Structure 1
Amino acid sequence: METRAHHVLIGALTLLILAAAIGFTLWLSKSSHDKEYDLYDIVFEEAVSGLNKGGIVEFNGIRIGEVISLRFDQADAKKVIARVRVDHAAPIRSDTEAKLMSSGITGLSVIRLSSGNKTNSVLLDDDDEIPVIIASPSPLTK
């Protein structure tokens, strides 16, 4: 009888630890989904080699978002439009610059945004249109 009690206790403790681990995982995933994001279209007038869906978007070296889609511009097939999802807290202004940069030796590219002037207005979507940032020529193409 006494050995059976130990098995029940071990089983109950195992279930309790498993439930706590699942609860912790759900709590962590919820906290990352509670962030507010803004969408931007970044227009590149050059090849975007190494940039993929899920690619990194950085602002002054800090990861603030990701690429959610890549497509050709319907009006000009030489242009590529990258739709990015960026943390709402990032100070994206009307003069923020975007460049395509290489990420180490992997061959992957990241979109690097650099800060604009503090006196310029924040670039927000006022009328349900996604704001557009025209990318500067990349040092990769020179």
Structure 2
Amino acid sequence: METRARHLAVGSFVLLLLAGAFIFVLWAAKFQGQVSYNGYYARFSGSVSQLRVDSTVNYGGIPVGRVTDVRIDPEDSALARVDFEVRAGTPIRVDSQATLELQSIAGGVGMSVSRGSSSQPLLPAGSEVPAAASALERLTRQAPDLIAKIDRIANNLNAMLSRENQQALTDTLANLRDLSAGLKERGPQIDALIADSDAAVNRVGDAGDKFSKLAADLQKTLGPAAREAQKAVDAFEKMARSFEGTSDQMNALVAENREPLRQFSGTALYEATDLLAQMRDLVASMARISQELERDPARFFLSDRNKGVPAP
């Protein structure tokens, strides 16, 4: 009886667990059915060979939907049309772009839709989202060129590692070894040369200090002379300005008295010359009178004394 009761309890528990799981699945399906999606499509000119139906569609890195169909575009067979749906409310704008991206390192390709500018209007459901070249597509297009470049690099490396270059590299290493050994043997001479160089540098430094001191002494010595020379230059400039002012005044005076000076040089100058001649004669007469006075004043004033005084 106890065994049957235990089996009955376990069976009842399992039935309840299965019923709960069934109810949860129905609830999840009902919740999933309440989510609405908006359909869009994009047309790609490159390869979409790795893109599959039910591949994830990301919006700014967030999964928002899935790919519903991948086929040749009915309007242009050179393009591939990819239909996809995203959850309602996903803000796909008119400047959003659709690109292909790797889902993981292991492989798998999905679709990514950029956010676009917030100032742009929303794209209506059922519209085309412009496709752009993705990093995956660029890598696919450049893969042949990249492989060719890698092949050329490998060929160049093989050429560099030829027997001739290997021998040249071996000889170079041997020369470096010999040079190192020679430098090691001449170590004392190199040390002496370095010491002489240090001494020469020190002497140059001492000479520089002496030149600096000499320059300071010259500056102290020539300082007063320079100031006196500056004073002389200032005085000369002042005198030049004074002469310039005097010259200007003389020019103005001559300009103002040009007519009187012309009259003076024409008539008055001749009369002044005549007056000077008469004055020269007067001075000569005065000189003779002065000599007569000095020689015999009485005779000059009383005439000849030998004649006497006439009787009344």
Taking only aligned residues, the RMSD between alpha carbons, in angstroms, comes to 1.6
After the TM superposition, list the runs of 4 or more consecutive aligned residues in structure 1 that deviate by more than 6 angstroms. Answer: none
State the SS of the aligned residue for 2:4: helix
Q: Does 2:6 align with 1:6? A: yes
Distance in 1 between the 2:28 and 2:105 partners? 32
State the SS of the aligned residue for 2:129: strand
The CA deviation string for residues 79-118 of structure 1, in whole angstroms up to 9 with x for no partner, is: 1110001111211111111111122223321111111111
Q: TM-score when scaled to structure 2?
A: 0.42
Alignment correspondent of 1:140? 136
State the SS of the aligned residue for 1:132: coil
The structure whose RCO (Cα within 8 Å, separation 6+) is larger is: 1
Q: Which amino acid aligns with 2:136?
A: L
Give the CA deviation at 1:74. Answer: 1.9
Alignment correspondent of 1:73? 73
Give the CA deviation at 1:2. Answer: 4.2
Alignment correspondent of 1:44? 44
Rg: which structure is higher?
A: 2
Give the CA deviation at 1:134. Answer: 1.7
The CA deviation string for residues 56-79 of structure 1, in whole angstroms up to 9 with x for no partner, is: 110010111110101111222111
Are the structure 2 counterparts of residues 5 and 102 from structure 1 closer, same or farther at C-alpha, using a change threshold of 3 Å?
A: closer
- Following superposition of structure 1 onto structure 2, how do residues 18-97 of structure 1 map, counting pairs within 5 Å? 18-97=18-97
State the SS of the aligned residue for 1:134: coil
Aligned length: 138
Distance in 2 between the 1:4 and 1:48 partners? 62
Gaps of 5+ in 2: 139-312
- Following superposition of structure 1 onto structure 2, how do residues 78-117 of structure 1 map, counting pairs within 5 Å? 78-117=78-117
Gaps of 5+ in 1: none
State the SS of the aligned residue for 1:16: helix
Are the structure 2 counterparts of residues 107 and 10 from structure 1 closer, same or farther at C-alpha, using a change threshold of 3 Å?
A: closer
Alignment correspondent of 2:281? none
Distance in 1 between the 2:6 and 2:74 partners? 69
Give the CA deviation at 1:33. Answer: 2.6
State the SS of the aligned residue for 1:99: strand
Quick check: 2:100–2:137 contact (8 Å CA) kept in 1?
no
Are the structure 2 counterparts of residues 31 and 82 from structure 1 closer, same or farther at C-alpha, using a change threshold of 3 Å?
A: same
Distance in 2 between the 1:85 and 1:59 partners? 11
